Structure 1
Amino acid sequence: MTRTDPPPATTAEDPGSSVVAKLSTLDRFLAVWILIAMAVGLGLGRLVPGMNDALAAVEIGGISLPIALGLLIMMYPVLAKVRYDKLDAVTGDKRLMISSLVINWVVGPAVMFALAWIFLPDLPEYRTGLIIVGLARCIAMVIIWNDLACGDREAGAVLVALNSVFQVLAFGLLGWFYLDLLPGWLGLGDGSRLDISMWEIALNVVIFLGIPLIAGFLTRRIGEQRMGRESYEAKVLPKIGPWALYGLLFTIVVLFALQGKTITSQPLDVARIALPLLVYFAVMWFGSFALGKAIGLPYARSATLAFTAAGNNFELAIAVAIATFGVTSGQALSGVVGPLIEVPVLIGLVYVSLAWRNRFAPPVPAAGPEGKLS
């Protein structure tokens, strides 16, 4: 993105107004561009004959190539901004690391499981799809939300990498627990089983995180060696930054074009799936943001904690649902509705986050790693 990291406000001005004013024109009207991209995608999927089938056919190993392309373009510029020499300061923050692990892999799946059963007790297919969404922790789009909210880029990179490792190791186990074992223990009837291998999850992680992470790291490393850090940040980053937005909008158009007909033809089902998702995003984001402030994290890391907790890996969730239950299944529809709700809600929370920035004490310059990096 092309945002400018603003200094902490020191006056009684409208909270967040100075922050938003310092965003680039592209970033400031991102909500508008996203809504337009969603509408274009839905329109293409609904009005152009065979559009969704043509897009769905362009895949390898169950991974949509157009979506993969969009995500790679989206993540690369942000990961090229990360100060990789500062990552050790993040990994040493035990409050952040432990909080993120607990929220993402204990609290998040449990909250989604509870909400799915509360809101959809009579719709087992949609309920199972929502639980799968809750198990797929975010490793891609959260990079964008965190950067727009002036979160800690280095902390975001570390937490995303941490989620990726746990996703490979824990996704299948948690799927068995929440879809098969726990419903039986609670007397909720027969559960469902996920038919996905650790290799498939690992491949998802490698493509959607590994490739852009390596590309971003090499770009930064080579750029700083040849140009120096100041010149690299002044000349290279402004040129590649806007491509994160272009990749995001392209991904949204493709994603909604793929499922435009399904979404628009079942509005009542979409509404029922959307309600627990809205509650989930609110609970996870506000709860994590408040926790960050309560345990003494600075604003940048509290925002990062909140967005990594609230976001989900929709690509993995959709892929698992389709591979296990079929492309026309209710489980797949729940996965598709996920980003339909997540995208506008989390972009709205970016503005909420910026507005609350003044509630945090300014970072102490001597703290170094705790402050926001330029």
Structure 2
Amino acid sequence: MTDTSIEPSADAPAQLSTLDRFLPVWIGAAMLIGIVLGKAIPDLDETLDAIKIDTVSLPIAIGLLAMMYPVLAKVKYTRIGESLDRRSLVMSLVLNWLIGPALMFALAWILLPDLPEYRTGLIIVGLARCIAMVLIWNDLACGSRELAAVLVAINSLFQIVAYSILGYFYLELLPEWLGLDSDGIDVTMWEIAKSVLIFLGIPLLAGFLTRTIGERAKGVEWYEERFLPRIGPVALYGLLFTIVILFALQGEQITEQPWDVARIAVPLLIYFALMWFGSYFAGLKMGFPYERNTSIAFTAAGNNFELAIAVSIGVFGVTSGQALAGVVGPLIEVPVLVALVYVSLWAKRRYYDTDGVRPRS
């Protein structure tokens, strides 16, 4: 991701670098490469899954850290307090922790009543609120980096406390109340905390220290105009590497079960569309500025697929249907949210005044 610190304007897509403008092409190529590798190399999924420290996949961790660090190094941490207000916080919490999980639960049961493993995998995805890729989508759509960083941090804390509780509620308690069968989930609070600390804590600390030390040593102008453009592309390379690894893990299953993948994709498509458009137009009605509204919408629509996949693999196994559903998550989420970046930039021109501060009547 090259420097996207330019203020958003009506011709924002033209300001993106060649790498950013053709992001859907690179992502599609990375998915294809991952699937081909997983299909062509015997036991590649088991080999990749074996490269880990404790239960953390080292290849996935490397890709995610490379993806997260440049984005978090762009955040202006001294402005974070200016970005958050009570309405934004309440709306984000309601979307992420009440509406999102409930919507995914409903879609999974309505559209996959005969596929319990995939249904459980989708519910696990719905419970894992986004703490990583949303920063990239938000950055490309010219949302507020500071607000996105705050919302991601809040999601991380809620995830540590609430994930196991919500997992028990949506996978055991609620189905029992409704007379439905379910597989259940057994994941400890430490497993979730460890994932959040690694995938968010490390790059967040690195980004904060980089900006603090860099600005003091070289000045703000050098940091913004020279350093950030140099490290920007690393985020894209990390994203593409992570996608290749994820799809290599499930390449054989994806190619051998295309109908199952299509069945899993339908509720995901509906979910991302409802969450993003519902959030965006609710923000318009509430009068949120473009940057803030965009950050809330992408935070609401995205999911923490790395945590969902880690939980699915840890509880049900690397070749389970639950793990396949977790991997199909980014297969659908990545191209859909890339498309929503362009929708967001179009909506700014259509629904906001020139500076993006006030929605048009």
Distance in structure 1 (CA, Å) of the matches to 2:7 and 2:323: 43
Listed as ranges, the matches of 1:314-333 within 5 Å are 314-333=305-324
In structure 1, what residue type is equivalent to 2:65? L
Paired amino acid for 1:339: P
Of all paired residues, the percent bearing the same amino acid is: 65
- DSSP 3-state at the match of 2:288: coil
Mapped pair 1:29 → 2:45? no
Q: 1:113 is matched with which residue?
A: 105
1:372 corresponds in structure 2 to: none
Counterpart amino acid of residue 72 in structure 2 = L
Deviation of 1:361 after TM superposition, in Å, equals: 2.5
Report the Cα distance in structure 2 between the residues aligned to 1:306 and 1:33, rounded to whole angstroms.
24
Q: Helix, strand or coil for the counterpart of 1:112? A: helix
Residue of structure 1 equivalent to 2:120: 128
Does structure 1 residue 282 correspond to structure 2 residue 282?
A: no
Please say if 1:165 is aligned against 2:157.
yes
Q: 1:85 aligns with which of 62, 78, 82?
A: 78
Query: What's the TM-score once normalised by structure 2's chain length?
Result: 0.96
Whole-Å Cα distance in 1 between the matches of residues 82 and 7 of structure 2?
A: 21
Deviation at 1:5, TM superposition (A): 4.4
In structure 2, relative to structure 1, the CA distance for the partners of 1:8 and 1:60 (3 Å cut) is: closer
Residue type matched to 1:80 in 2? Answer: A
Q: Any unmatched runs of 5+ in structure 2? A: none
Query: What SS class does the counterpart of residue 2 from structure 1 fall into?
Result: coil
SS in structure 2 at match of 1:241: helix
State TM-score, norm by structure 1. Answer: 0.92
Report the Cα distance in structure 2 between the residues aligned to 1:286 and 1:114, rounded to whole angstroms. 18
| Residue pair 1:195, 1:323 contacting (<8 A) in 2 also | no
| Residues in 2 aligned to 1:299 and 1:212: alpha-carbon distance in whole angstroms | 27
1:207 equivalenced with 2:198 (yes/no): yes
The aligned amino acid for 1:326 is G
* Superposed counterparts of 1:251-290, under 5 Å: 251-290=242-281
Check the 8 A contact 1:133/1:317 in 2, yes or no.
Answer: yes
1:312-367 CA distance string (max 9 Å, x none): 111111111122222222111111111111111111111111111112124489x9
Secondary structure of the 2:250 match is helix
Q: Could you say which residue in structure 2 is the equivalent of 1:241?
A: 232
1:2 aligns with 2:2: yes
> Separation in 1 of the partners of 2:356 and 2:48?
50
**Aligned partner of 1:144 among 117, 122, 136:** 136
- 8 Å contact from structure 1 (residues 181, 191) kept in 2: no
| Whole-Å separation in 1 of the counterparts to 2:265 and 2:54 | 29
Residue 69 (structure 1) shift: 0.3
Q: Distance in 2 between matches of 1:122 and 1:133?
A: 18
Tell me if the contact between 2:49 and 2:318 (Cα under 8 Å) persists in the aligned partners: no
Aligned residues of 1:42 and 1:261 also touching (Cα < 8 A): yes
Q: Which moved more, 1:52-61 or 1:233-242?
A: 52-61
Q: Is this contact kept in 1: 2:168–2:184, CA < 8 A?
A: yes
Q: Distance in 2 between the 1:113 and 1:151 partners?
A: 29
Q: Measure, in 1, the Cα distance between the counterparts of 2:293 and 2:192.
A: 28
CA distance in 2, matches of 1:204, 1:266: 29
**Partner amino acid, structure 2, of 1:2:** T
Residue in structure 1 matched with residue 46 of structure 2 by the alignment: 53
Alignment partners' CA distance in 1, 2:8 and 2:339: 21
Counterpart in the other structure of 1:12: none
Q: Which residue does 2:57 correspond to in 1?
A: 64
Determine the structure 1 residue equivalent to 2:285.
294
Contact 2:160 2:192 in 1 (8 A): yes
CA RMSD of aligned residues (A): 1.5
Matched, 1:306 2:297: yes
Deviations 1:141-184 (A, max 9, x none): 11111101111100110000000000000001111111111111
Q: For 2:337 and 2:8, how far apart are their aligned partners in 1?
A: 23
Task: Give the match for residue 337 of structure 1.
Answer: 328
Task: State how far apart, in whole Å, the 2-side matches of 1:67 and 1:238 are.
Answer: 24
1:222 — aligned with what? 213
Shift of 1:53: 2.1
